[in-house]
Structures are given as C-alpha cells and as structure tokens.
Amino acid sequence: MLVVALAAACRVGGDYEPPVLTAPESFAAPATACLGAEDERWWRSFADPTLNTLVEAALASNRDLRAAAQRVREARAVIEMERDSNDPSVDGRVGVVGRKPSTAVAGGQFLPPDPNSLHSLGFDARWELDLFGHNARALEAAEASWGAALEDARAVLQRLVAEVARNYVELRGIEREMVVLRASLASHEVAVLLVASRVEAGLSSELEASRVAGLVANTRAQMAPLERARSTRLHALALLLAEPLGACAERIAFHGRIPDPPAAIPAGIPADLLRRRPDVRRTEREFARSVAMTAAAMTELYPRLSIGALFGWESRYAEDMFSGDSLAFTAGPTLTGPIFRRAVIKAGIEQRTAQQEQALLAHEQAFALALRDVEDALVAVASSHERWRALEDSLAAERRSEQLATSLHEGGLTDFFAVLDAQSTSFAAQRELARASTDRAVAAIALYKALGGGWGFENEVPALDAARKPASGD
C-alpha cells in the first residue's frame, strides 16, 4: 500500500477534467420539455407495428452494429492488457545450451576449456514500480478509448434506427403515390372509353380522343419510376436487416399508409445534447484519451524503477540439476532513465499537447454541429408540418372543384373535359400531399436523431449488451 501511495503521489502530468462548453439556454426554434426515457424508443410513437418489427430485426442482425460491438470488445481487451502490465510478471524458464569456450581468453579461466552443456530450470520475476504514473496514464488512455468505441457503437445504433425508419416511411410514401396513380389511371381509362363512344356518336372529335389517350399514357409512364424507387427502399431495408430481399419484402405488405409522426416532439435544452448525442460524447472521450497520452509522454522524462528476480537450478549435467549445489538466484532493483533522448521526448510531449488541443477543438466543433443539426431539424419539422396542412386544405378545395365540375357537367353547363381536368388536378394534389406527409414524417425522424434519441436502451440489444460492460475491475 505504501508503494501504491508513493506512486500516486509522484504521478506527473495533468489529470483529466471534463471540458466546460457554453450552451445557449434554449433553441432558436420552438422546443418543448426534455426527452424522457419513454422517448428512447421514439419510433413507437409512429404507431406502426411493421416499423416496430423492422427496427427489432435490424437491432438483432445488422452487420454494422455487430462490427461496432466487436470494436468495443477489442477496446476492452486493451484495458485488460494495460491493467495486467502493472502486475508482477513471472515466466518459467527451461534450457539446454551447448558451449565451446575459447581457450585464448585468459586461459579459459572463467569456464572449463572443454566443450560442455548448461542445463537450466527456473523462474524469472519482474515488477515495475510505476513511480511517475506511466502505466497508470496508459491505462487511463485505454479506458478513454473504450469509452469512445462504446459511443461509436451507440452512434451506429442511433443511425441504424433512423435509417430503418426513414427508408420505411419513404417506401410507404411511394406506395401511397402508387395507389393515387392507379386510381388516376383507372379514371382516365374510363374517360378513354367514354370519349371513344362519344366519337362514334359524333359528339366528340378525334382531337379529344387523342388528348385523353395521351393522358393515360403519361399516367402509366409515371408508374415505372415509383416502382424503381420502391425497389430501392426495399433493397436498403434488406441490407439494414441483413436478410434476403425476399424475406424482407414478406415483412412489408403493400398497404400505402404513411405513418403519422407525433403531434409534438420534445426537444429539451441545448445542454442535453452533451448527455444524449453519442458523437459529442465520443469526442469528449477522445479528449480524455489525449490528456492521458500527453501525461504519459511527460513520464518519459523520468526514470523507471523495476525489481527483478531469478530463481532456479543450473548444472553442467542433467543428473545434478536438483542438487543443492545447482541452486541459483539473483534479485535486485534496476533504475533506467533517459540521458541523451530528452530532446526527442520533449518533442513528443509537444506533439501530444498539440493533439490534445485538437481533440478539445473537435469536441467543441461536434457540440456546435449538434446544435446546428437540432436547429435545422426543428425548422424542417415546423415547415414540413405547415406545408402538409396547406396541402390538406388544397386537396379539400380541389375535391370540391371536382364535385362542382361533375355537377355542372351533369346539368349540361360544362363539357366533360372540365370534369377530367378537375379530376387530374385532384389526383395531383393527392400525390403532392403524399409527398408532404412523407417529408413530415422524415423530418420528425431527423429531429429525433439530431436530439440523440434511440440509443439509451442498448442494454436490450444483444450485440451491445455484452460489449458495453466495462472490463473486470472497472
């Protein structure tokens, strides 16, 4: 205990202190109370069972998440190695060495002049007293690296959930457009038949028939890009879930309903991002690592003290190995220190100090970017909601126009093409509303991601639960 206390007292270099960042008191865009524990699984607020199933499947099998967990495991193993390096080491030793001494050196007085062998068996022990904290600083750096790897894994988890939700919402938006387009196509095909009959009766011209036929062809042409876009989203989801495309497609039955985001998303205060954003937390851990590495570089200026011992048996003949005369041992301290390397060591300290300043700036920049992400996401949520509401009103107006045109046509007050134009405008408004609904949901997903939601439940994710546990002794 005295040695440990002495080593702690002699430790050189500055100890880590968390950086103090200045955060505004509130976001510029409107925001409500802080996200709570119930918001960690934010995708459930969309009330879509299929989305919930997809997220659960991705958390169980996504390759990027599993790889991130292995990086955490790797960093934890480094902690174990650094911790064990502080303990005394004992190695076994067995050897047989053949020798032919030179008789030209002092008449061979130190060794028998005839060829012989040396049999040895024993143990070598060594313990370095970490007087100035070199090993302790290396351990601190390893623990900070483990923390950074864990935050990286949390960031992967966060991005994974957001990507699954975004691709799913966009797929449902595309499906909704396809539903509207098919209804539009069916309506236009009925119009083709109607105009054809009117042409035969001499009530319409070939120009009108050609116009309706062109409308049908144009509507059909718009279906192909939607089919391609839907396939792209399905492929993306299959990759995120790490499963075959066919199996993923079976999970997602075509229904064309776009998930509705919650009416209000709590954003909290900017300082919450220091606690919730994995990318910000990771840069803080990187800064802690750089502080430890700077302190470790400073310890190179000071001597290192180790105690070594050797115990065993040595004999020229194997049969005499364990006799009393064969017993041999050595023990004693060794003090080593730099003499002509101080300039190099000081340059190394300067390098580590510069890296420490860079790490602090990276942490400050990560926080600033996080603030910007939230501000941008809040504006996007508000603007997408306003656009969605305006398009709902627009669609209601277009549907009233369609009804009026139909009534006027039935009363003989307007021609059929007025009805057709009103229908086409109504269908276009429905498609535009579908896009706005998709954008509204995607904006909500982006806000949840910007706020750092979606990683606080990693203890329930098998890939991360074991990896996140600290190394033994933490």
What is the secondary structure of 165-189 as a DSSP string? HHHHHHHHHHHHHHHHHHHHHHHHH
| Distance separating alpha carbons of residues 48 and 434, to the nearest angstrom | 17
Q: What is the DSSP letter of 259?
A: P
Q: List C-alpha distances in Å: 461 to 58, 189, 215, 419.
A: 10, 51, 52, 56
What CATH number is attached to the domain comprising 68?
1.20.1600.10
Give the structural domain span for 232. 16-84+142-302+342-468
**Is residue 308 in a domain?**
no
**Is residue 126 in a domain?**
no
- 261-287 per-position pLDDT tens digit: 987 777 777 887 778 889 999 999 999
**Is residue 259 in a domain?**
yes
Q: How many helical (H) and strand (E) elements, i.e. helices and strands, does the chain have?
A: 12, 4
The pLDDT assigned to 434 comes to 96
Once rounded to an integer, what is the mean pLDDT over residues 115-126?
Answer: 73
**Is residue 6 in a domain?**
no
**Is residue 322 in a domain?**
no
**pLDDT: which is higher, 341 or 435:** 435
Q: By three-state DSSP, how is residue 261 classified?
A: coil
- 196-226 per-position pLDDT tens digit: 776 667 666 677 777 778 888 888 999 999 9
**Is residue 119 in a domain?**
no
Number of domains in the chain: 1
What is the secondary structure of 399-448 as a DSSP string? HHHHHHHHHHHHTTSS-HHHHHHHHHHHHHHHHHHHHHHHHHHHHHHHHH
pLDDT at 124 over 70: yes
The pLDDT assigned to 357 comes to 96
Q: By three-state DSSP, how is residue 360 classified?
A: helix
**pLDDT: which is higher, 238 or 219:** 238
Which residues, at least 6 apart from 70, have a Cβ–Cβ distance to it below 8 Å?
467
At 38, the pLDDT band (50, 70, 90 cuts) reads very low
**Is residue 100 in a domain?**
no
Q: Closest by alpha carbon to 276, among 37, 45, 33, 60?
A: 37
Residue type, 118: L
- 349-399 per-position pLDDT tens digit: 999 999 999 999 999 999 999 999 989 998 999 999 999 999 999 999 999
- Cα dihedral 319, 322, 325, 330 in deg (nearest 10): 130
pLDDT at 73 over 70: yes
**Is residue 116 in a domain?**
no
The pLDDT assigned to 474 comes to 45
